[in-house]
Amino acid sequence: MDADETLPEAGYDIGEVIGRGGMGEVLLARDARIGRQVAVKRMRSDAPSREAVIRFLREARIQACLDHPAIVPVHELGRDADGRPYFTMKRLAGTTLQSRLVGLCRPVARDESDSISLSESLVTSVSPAALTRTLLHAFVDVCRAMDFAHARRVVHRDLKPANIMLGEYGEVYVLDWGVARELGFDRTASGGIDVAALDGQTHAGSLLGTPGYMAPEQARAEQVDVAADIYSLGCILFEILAGDPAHPPGAGALASNLANAVGSPAERRPGRDIAPELDALCVTALASDPAERPTARGLAAGVQRYLDGDRDLALRRALSAERLGAARRALARTRGGDEEARATAIRAASHAFALDPGSSEAAHLVTALILEPPRTISPGLAARLVEIDARFMAQQWRSATLAYAVFFLFLPVLMWQGVRDWPVVAGGYACIAAIVILGRSALSRRDVSAPLALALNTVFMILFARLYGPIFVLPGVLAVETFAWMSYPRFVDRPWLPMLLVAATLVIPIALEALGVLASTWHVRDGAIVTTSAALDLSRGATQIALVLIALATVVTAGVFSRALAKGRRDAQRDLEIQTWHLRHLLPT
């Protein structure tokens, strides 16, 4: 039958050939009776064999019986003037999944003068990620169509991207049921081989299906069931996810089918960020043992869960358990002195909690690792703690330099009293000036030598004892000094050093005076303690004013200094508690 030929008994005006297969071809036609476009499938051979006719009629029968939105409906079955069978079906408009997969892998090269359909233009107008998601939606429709066919005990046996049509308005169709098989049909009970009795069993020396998409048992020419279609669906899903066919095209396809050493899409294309649940689902569909493959409905449900955003919870829990194990192993290494292992444990536990937020074990481990202090300090954390101590030391030196600078305000008072030993006074103020300079250095570089400053302070206090004696004014000033130095971060773990120097500051002047090395500045007479000065004239009236001012300055300095320390510690503690509060509300208890 040539193009533009009319089937007068059927009333069809035949147009161009739009598809051609091994034993049949599909032509565009117009149903003259109702004026609609249809597709006519007819046999290509002028003298087809009896078996070919039976297989052709079986295809029409199976396709007509599968009344599903994703299976092309058959309108009419008939014979032409030469007695050859044909059947008419819905005329489709769109492109094949195979064409879309080519667009997913690389741009489609075509001449600018070529016209393309809307569906073909989508190949190059959307991103690979968006196209992959679109094809996954289409794949779900294909799986549901095959679930419908399998429920009616029909096996397609030739599922491949070229046999899946994607319509211009979102329709999806499974095509070419020419080698489909009806399971469990008894040929002998029918009284012969006819369209209802043909069981589709593969003949010796023949192989039905397409290498590269057929199951291993199908490639071995064994009798197959619905599991063979699941394998073919797995090959299609593999190609959607990886952008490459599961099996190599060409002469090696059949050997690859038999070996079935496919692996997973994620292993093939690690850079494509393939969802682990889709990867696992694809591997299961490609199992060599047909019994291990899922059903078409299960395959559709798994992909749909991913598309709906409901990632496979079981897989996430398995991955979470794996990361929890890694966290425990890393935490065990911290007991052996591996300081970096704690950071590894925190990362692994955090990943486990992110994969399974409902895991109380993961939440507890993350909380413990974050909120409980480690037994050993890693170098990175140690450096951070040193930085924090440096900040506190800078705050203390800011207050300390102001306190020491107050001593310069007393220089006029000392001169008013009358200085008798200027070397002592000058030496004391030289020590104060050096301490202030060290303090300014601490504010700018945070590398001040605290022991040097403490030593200078000790010399200053010994000289200060020559002004008013070692047991009258000096103990009050030393009390403030002790409080300041004992709270200094570098001396918190070495308290013996400031305690030793402060004690020496008090003991040395008393000892030197007792040994006669220095002139005595105090003694007990008639039940009274008498104090004199080795450097000042205390007979003037300014002495009482100076002593009151010194006492007042000592109290005020102690208050200001302690307030600065308390504020710094309080602010640090509050920041820590705020962070802890947020972390405890971030993680379930």
pLDDT tens for residues 166-214? 998 889 999 988 889 898 754 433 333 233 322 333 333 356 788 999 9
In the set 80, 141, 147, 158, the catalytic residue is: 158
Q: What DSSP character marks residue 379?
A: H
Q: Check residue 466 and give its pLDDT.
A: 83
Q: Tell me, what's the pLDDT at 18?
A: 85
Q: pLDDT tens across 392-401, in order?
A: 777 777 777 7
pLDDT for position 195: 33
The residue ranking higher by pLDDT, 102 or 182, is 182
Residue with more model confidence, 375 or 151: 151
Residue 442 C-alpha from the chain's centroid: 42
Joined together, the tokens standing for residue 365 give 């481990």
Q: How confident is the model at residue 160 (pLDDT cuts 50, 70, 90)?
A: very high
Compute the average pLDDT of residues 417-436.
Answer: 84
Averaged pLDDT, 425-445: 79
Task: Average the pLDDT over 4-28 and give the result.
Answer: 75
Longest dimension (CA), the chain: 151
Higher pLDDT, 431 or 546: 431
Same fold yes or no, 6-90 and 94-109+117-307: no
- CATH architecture, domain 94-109+117-307: Orthogonal Bundle (1.10)
Model confidence band, residue 448 (pLDDT cutoffs 50, 70, 90): low
Using 50, 70 and 90 to split pLDDT, how confident is the model at 272?
confident
pLDDT for the residue 147: 97
Question: What pLDDT score was predicted for residue 300?
Answer: 97
pLDDT of residue 126: 56
* 154: phi then psi, degrees, rounded to nearest 5: -115, 130
C-alpha–C-alpha distance, residues 295 and 290, integer Å: 10
Q: Are 180 and 200 in contact (CB under 8 A)?
A: yes
Of 211-220, 223-232, 424-433, the least confident? 424-433
**CA nearest neighbour of 486 among 578, 562, 416, 559:** 562
Most confident of 126-140, 237-251, 556-570: 237-251
- Work out the average pLDDT over 286-299: 96
Tracing tokens 């508690």 back to the chain, one arrives at: 577
Name every residue whose Cβ is closer than 8 Å to that of residue 11 and which is 6 or more positions away in sequence: 31, 32, 33
The average pLDDT across 441-453 equals: 66
d(C-alpha 208, C-alpha 228), whole Å:
12
- pTM value > 0.75: no
Mean pLDDT of all residues belonging to the chain:
79
- pLDDT at residue 286, rounded to an integer: 96
| pLDDT tens profile 457-511 | 888 888 888 887 787 777 877 887 777 777 777 777 778 877 888 888 888 888 8
**Cα torsion 188, 193, 194, 198: sign:** positive
Q: How far is CA 421 from CA 282, 410, 427, 428, 536, in A?
A: 96, 16, 10, 11, 7
Q: What is the pLDDT of residues 34-62, one digit of tens each?
A: 889 999 998 888 788 888 888 888 889 99
| Topology (CATH level 3) of domain 6-90 | Phosphorylase Kinase; domain 1 (3.30.200)
Greater model confidence, 114 or 191: 114
The Cα–Cα gap between 289 and 296 comes to: 16
Give me the residue spans of the domains in the chain: 6-90, 94-109+117-307, 313-371, 386-575
Residues 84, 48: contact at Cβ < 8 Å?
A: yes
Please report the pLDDT score of residue 585 as a whole number.
64
C-alpha separations of 573 from 206, 235, 475, 566, 569 in Å: 82, 60, 32, 10, 6
Active site residue 493: no
- Cα(191)–Cα(182) distance, rounded to whole angstroms? 17
State residue 311's pLDDT score. Answer: 57
d(CA 185, CA 183): 6
Quickly tell me which residue has 């481990």 as its tokens. Answer: 365
Give residue-wise pLDDT tens across range 202-221: 333 356 788 999 999 999 98
pLDDT value, residue 240: 95
Cα–Cα–Cα angle for 90, 91, 92, rounded to 5 degrees: 110
Distance, CA of 577 to CA of 561 (rounded, Å): 24
